[in-house]
Structure 1
Amino acid sequence: MPADTLLHYSHEFRVAYHQTDGQRRVHHSNYLNFFEDARVEMLRAGGVRYKDVEDSGRLLVVTEMNVQYHAAAEFDDWLRLDVVVTEIRKVRLRHHYDVFRDQTLIASADSTIACVGADGRPKKLPAKFLDLAAHLDQA
């Protein structure tokens, strides 16, 4: 599993019309979906399907999200979302996100993702994730 891809990932996409408000600007709530899409694609690029994580009896749930909006993105903009894993613990991951249009920072965010079982109780992250913690210490 490529550790680099599971720790740093760039996700590019075009803003769809349905993601905008009446002024053709991205509605603030859609950034949460952008972040989730990037996390799922980051896993896929690293050889891990989120569906397989769920099939193993684990869910990765957002427990905290802090977003700062710096500029407006609009319908049809081409955006790049950089996501970086900043911390891995036994049952949680932390990510940092930066959304850019060209060189303009549109939004930045930090999240905490907890690993839980179907019963909602904390559950140890899969070993693949825990093995990545050593790579964070080297960065």
Structure 2
Amino acid sequence: MSDAHHTPPWRHRVEHVDTDASGVVHFSRYASLLETAALEELERRGAGLGALEEQRLDLRVRELRLSYRAAARFQDWLRLDARLEHVGPASLKLGVTVYREGSAPEPVLLAAGSLDMAVVNRESGEPTCIPLTLSAALKRSPSP
């Protein structure tokens, strides 16, 4: 499933805690940023963690892919564009692109990645099919 619908980006200002000693965002912080943007996208679609919890479901990351293009620095404003790329019977894949906003006339691509997540039973941890109500919510156009 490819999602052609545009949703508002998630923004993050780089904090000191995000950076290494030279003031550059540490590579490990990007995984957290991708996860936050992906979860915000699910929330916009009405299928966030609360909706999953009501169904006694949870998400487990099966694969994280990330390509770095340029460095972000302390106090940069980042724009994270998340999109739902695939809804399987018991899995989701979201893509996230990270840009620096501000000084350049156009946003600068910093990183691009994806999160492949399994939907599991909250108690047993076993993979579980996504209920039709949540599957329908995921496939609908997200709320702005």
Relative to the length of structure 1, the TM-score reads 0.83
Residue number in structure 2 paired with 1:84: 83
Residue number in structure 2 paired with 1:131: 136
Aligned CA RMSD, in angstroms, stands at 2.4
Greater length-normalized contact order (CA 8 Å, ≥ 6 residues apart): 2
Deviation at 1:54, TM superposition (A): 2.2
Distance 1:128 1:61 in 2: 20
Residue number in structure 2 paired with 1:73: 72
2:49 equivalent to 1:50: yes
Distance 2:93 2:48 in 1: 19
The C-alpha deviation readout for 1:93-123, integer Å capped at 9, x for no partner, is 1111110012110000022111011211101
Deviation at 1:132, TM superposition (A): 5.2
Aligned length: 133
2:112 equivalent to 1:108: yes
Residue segments in structure 2 that go unaligned for 5+ positions in a row = 102-106
Describe the SS at the equivalent of 2:17: helix
Relative to the length of structure 2, the TM-score reads 0.81
Closer/same/farther in 2, CA of residues 11 and 76 from structure 1, 3 Å limit: same
The C-alpha deviation readout for 1:14-45, integer Å capped at 9, x for no partner, is 01110111111111111111011112222333
Describe the SS at the equivalent of 2:9: strand
Residue number in structure 1 paired with 2:98: 99
Residue segments in structure 1 that go unaligned for 5+ positions in a row = none
The C-alpha deviation readout for 1:23-79, integer Å capped at 9, x for no partner, is 111111111110111122223333444134124211111100110000000111100
Kindly report which structure 2 residues correspond to 1:7-86, keeping only aligned pairs within 5 A, or say none: 8-86=7-85
Distance 1:48 1:86 in 2: 15
